[in-house]
Structure 1
Amino acid sequence: MIHPTAIVDPQARLADDVEVGAYSIIGADVEIGSGSVIGPHVVIHGPTRIGTDNRIYQFASVGEACQDLKYKGEPTRLEIGDRNTIREYATLHRGTTQDQGLTRVGSDNLLMVSTHVAHDCLVGDHVILSNGASLAGHVTVEDHVILSGFTLVHQFCRIGQHAFAGMGSGVNRDVPPCTLVSGNPAQPHGINSEGLKRRGFEPETIRAIKNAYKILYLSGRKLDDAIKEIASTANGIAALESFVSFLENSQRSIVR
């Protein structure tokens, strides 16, 4: 299962059925779970934990030290969940002690060619980063987000669940859940209706989210007033409650 030209550190812990392709390098303090396939010419440094049934393609760099100039070699980590696909030339860096010392990628994600996940990023589940999409440090990407090709996300931004960013977007503020943005700097352009339909959202829930978007972006209300109005219409709808919570906890303000 391990190609004879691959170099696997004796301290690495690989499940018995892990495949490692030609000329790949697996460093010390790397753990890879069952069913995972590491292609040729992949470099994985530790401390890094990779779950089960992941597929990492050739020339990816996983668990490397970050590019933050404040990083001085402190022991930090990268954690990757299960069933992820990490394509060619993707780069995923470990965290820094300026944050929690952790970069984390969840499960069932697709990181396409030349994507970048910088230090201290938190990526949820069922996320798609299209070719060339890049996350700067300390970015949070919630579940079911899609970032189209060459989207760039500024440090410390949050992308809410089910949000969608169009090709070449420059995201420098938080993107509320279910919101569609595009442009540089990114601007809101409605809700991600098609994505919500595909994920089984009921029509009345989609209408409620659309109404919340109108209150936030089209009513002319100040942000605090818009949040209060949306909260008053939530009526136990989980998607709206998450929407309100996201707005209330935004640290960088939102695209608006």
Structure 2
Amino acid sequence: MGASSLIHPTAVIDPAAQLDSSVSVGPYAVIGPKVRIGANTSVGAHCVIEGDTTLGRDNQVFQFASLGAQPQDKKYAGEPTRLVIGDRNTIREFCTFNTGTVQDRGETTIGSDNWIMAYVHIAHDCIVGNNTILANNATLAGHVHVDDWVILGGLTGVHQFTHIGAHAMAGFASHISQDVPPFMMVDGNPLAVRGFNAEGLRRRGFSAVRVAAVKQMHKLLYRQGLTLDAATAAIAGLKSDMPEALQDIERMQAFLAASTRGIAR
């Protein structure tokens, strides 16, 4: 099958766009001059991919998605910024991902192996890691960081500059305006921490010792009435008792130290 047979004749693709010969493009899709798309990626009908946008290989972009449009930021004045998407992502209908702004890193970044459902909005300068699940209508405001293996329930809204730690999970229609530490389960408006993501960790191969360490960190942060400083110090003390969970404890320490919005408590 020739490359031309993978491109529907009604698609509008700028001659300067760089598409691997194995890329398929559906009817009435529009692809701009600064777009680069890797091998075996499919672009559905009526998609618009514009701006300085790079998609890796084996992505599936469903119909009516808009990728690489200018940021919804009134300060934006046409500066060159980017959208970079990794490999093997599923991007469902009506998703909108914007490029970055020069006020931040100038790039919106989405990793690999993410499952991104319909109507998800990822605003300027966001960083989304790998293996995340963003359910229908999840909305990330500008400058949000979502670490690996995060799950966001449908209709969840995330405030700008918020950081969501690895393996965290947010329930349906959550309002996230403070940082969510790794491993925690949250939901509601106002947001509340309901527990830790024990089942998710087990499914990802965490040993019983590692799960126990996360349980203890949750207890120190949320169940013993400690100040944040006292809980942080107690978490540091777990490293000598639970060396198998050293990486998880250090992940929590680094997250708490870097938090700028305060953590959900």
Per-residue deviation at 1:85?
0.4
Q: Provide, for residues 18-56 of structure 1, a one-character-per-residue CA deviation record: whole Å limited to 9, x for no partner.
A: 000000000011000001000100000020010000000
AA of the residue aligned to 2:55: I
SS in 1 for 2:84: strand
Does residue 63 (structure 1) correspond to residue 68 (structure 2)? The answer is yes
Does residue 106 (structure 1) correspond to residue 111 (structure 2)? The answer is yes
C-alpha distance in structure 2 between counterparts of 1:145 and 1:243, whole Å? 15
AA of the residue aligned to 2:135: S
Which deviates more from structure 2 when the two are superposed, residues 241-250 or residues 98-107? Answer: 241-250
C-alpha distance in structure 2 between counterparts of 1:199 and 1:68, whole Å? 37
C-alpha distance in structure 2 between counterparts of 1:185 and 1:72, whole Å? 35
1:1-256, aligned counterparts within 5 Å? 1-235=6-240, 236=243, 237-256=246-265
Per-residue deviation at 1:73?
1.0
Gaps of at least 5 residues in structure 2 are 1-5
AA of the residue aligned to 2:128: V
Per-residue deviation at 1:176?
0.2
AA of the residue aligned to 1:2: I
AA of the residue aligned to 1:168: A
C-alpha distance in structure 2 between counterparts of 1:248 and 1:188, whole Å? 19
Per-residue deviation at 1:146?
0.2
AA of the residue aligned to 2:76: Y
Q: Provide, for residues 184-205 of structure 1, a one-character-per-residue CA deviation record: whole Å limited to 9, x for no partner.
A: 1211011001100110100111
Identity %: 52
Per-residue deviation at 1:57?
0.3
C-alpha distance in structure 2 between counterparts of 1:250 and 1:117, whole Å? 21
Gaps of at least 5 residues in structure 1 are none
AA of the residue aligned to 1:39: G
SS in 2 for 1:248: helix
- Aligned residue pairs total 256
C-alpha distance in structure 1 between counterparts of 2:214 and 2:138, whole Å? 27
AA of the residue aligned to 1:21: G
Q: Provide, for residues 193-226 of structure 1, a one-character-per-residue CA deviation record: whole Å limited to 9, x for no partner.
A: 1100110100111111111111011111111111
C-alpha distance in structure 2 between counterparts of 1:201 and 1:170, whole Å? 28
Q: What is the aligned-residue RMSD (CA, Å)?
A: 0.6
C-alpha distance in structure 2 between counterparts of 1:223 and 1:207, whole Å? 20
C-alpha distance in structure 2 between counterparts of 1:173 and 1:145, whole Å? 15
Per-residue deviation at 1:246?
0.5
C-alpha distance in structure 1 between counterparts of 2:262 and 2:43, whole Å? 40
SS in 2 for 1:241: helix
C-alpha distance in structure 2 between counterparts of 1:119 and 1:144, whole Å? 21
C-alpha distance in structure 2 between counterparts of 1:85 and 1:179, whole Å? 25
SS in 2 for 1:83: coil
